[in-house]
Amino acid sequence: MAGTQAGSGTKTLRTKLVEHLRYPARGVPPGDLATITRSCLADAMEALDPGTFAAPPEPAEIAGTAIHWAREGIALETVLGAYHDGIRTGLEFLAAQAGDAGSDQVVAGAGLIVRALEMVTVAASTAYVEEHRLVAKEHQTAAQTLVSALLSGHGVAQLARQTGISVAPTYQVVAVSIPPHSDELRPGGGATAGRRKLRRVQAALAKPLGSRALSLLSTEGGTVLVPIDDVSALTPLAMTAEVLEVVSEAAEVPLTATITAGVRCRIPELVGRVHDLLGRIRAANRPPGLYPMADLGESIGCDTPQRAGGAVVTSSNKHGIGRPA
């Protein structure tokens, strides 16, 4: 009988804890972040202790609020901070109840609230990551569609409106060659190593060229378009020898690129010319680096590459950064 009473007492304390979190002080807006996170903590406790509560919620319901906040642009650290504030409130409530309840009940309540914190932290973090992956994938698809239109010269204005990506009047046009990583040559690992190499290249391009740069790349290379307009002039973004060197170090292979610039309507022509030059440079076994097309009216296949002061990786077996592929 004593054990049954103790169990009943423990359940009563847990129920009080959940009610304390679910019903905050008067005057707090029902849609307030702190209110919602406290309610999510209460939901998590009910889900973790279904024998105590009548209708435990599905964990997906807890993640749903995190997805909403991610879409609203609320930072993950703000959400997690609100959850931790709720935990502190719950622990303070347990401490206040310590005089009326046994220590075993307080310990059980504290254990439940810590497990609830783990649940909501994992659910919120996972939801944020998945939502940002989805947004990034949608942006990447839109950007690739737009760059395809720029390369063909058709439907640019309509796609720009549909995607919400602004189009510059002038672009740097860059043709890039990416040699195979040594790990791509290993039996059974080529495709995976190639995808990882490409992700490293894309990540390395993002910071120096900004989010408005457009690229259409495969594991072997492709085309990059860097906007030149009043917006980018405030924070100059450009493909340079230094940028190419940084990307080569990230890719762990030496990249070769050819570059020119021109108005938007000439992009299809310029792309053909820089890729033609890139093909001639590769056929001539010229060293990796950035080759500018200074004058489209001249044959510049013998131009030397622009190089930064530091060394550029010249062998796929000599990596500037020892990250795995």
Q: How far apart are the C-alpha atoms of 164 and 86, rounded to whole Å?
A: 39
Q: How far apart are the C-alpha atoms of 75 and 79, rounded to whole Å?
A: 7
Q: How many domains does the chain have?
A: 2
230 and 295 assigned to the same domain? yes
129 and 176 assigned to the same domain? no
For the stretch 258-273, what's the b/e string if a residue is b when 16 or more beta carbons lie within 10 angstroms of its beta carbon? Answer: bbbbbeeebbeebbeb
Range name among 112-126, 150-164, 245-259 with the lowest pLDDT average: 150-164
pLDDT tier, 166 (very low <50, low <70, confident <90, very high otherwise): confident
Contacts of 70 (CB under 8 A, 6+ apart): 76, 127, 128, 131, 132
Contacts of 9 (CB under 8 A, 6+ apart): 101, 102, 105
Angle among Cα 211, 69, 55 to the nearest 5 degrees reads 150
Question: CA dist 260 to 113, 238, 273, Å?
Answer: 60, 11, 9
Give 30 or 87, the one with higher predicted confidence. 87
Residue 158, domain member (yes or no): no
Residue 294, domain member (yes or no): yes
Q: What is the pLDDT of residues 32-46, one digit of tens each?
A: 788 888 888 888 887
Residue 302, domain member (yes or no): yes
Residue 52's pLDDT is: 53
71 and 184 assigned to the same domain? no
Residue the block writes with tokens 């989010």: 211
Q: 284 lies in which domain range?
A: 168-325
72 and 219 assigned to the same domain? no
46 and 103 assigned to the same domain? yes
Q: How far apart are the C-alpha atoms of 87 and 110, rounded to whole Å?
A: 9
- Contact between 250 and 200 under an 8 Å Cβ cutoff? The reply is yes
* Stretch (H or E) spanning 261: strand 256-263
pLDDT for 29 beyond 70: no
Question: CA dist 171 to 141, 146, 270, Å?
Answer: 20, 14, 10
Q: Does residue 263 sit in helix, strand or coil?
A: strand
Of 108, 134, 160, the one marking the end of a domain is 134
Name 292's bridge partners.
Answer: 259
Q: What is the pLDDT of residues 54-93, one digit of tens each?
A: 454 555 667 788 888 887 778 888 888 988 888 888 888 8
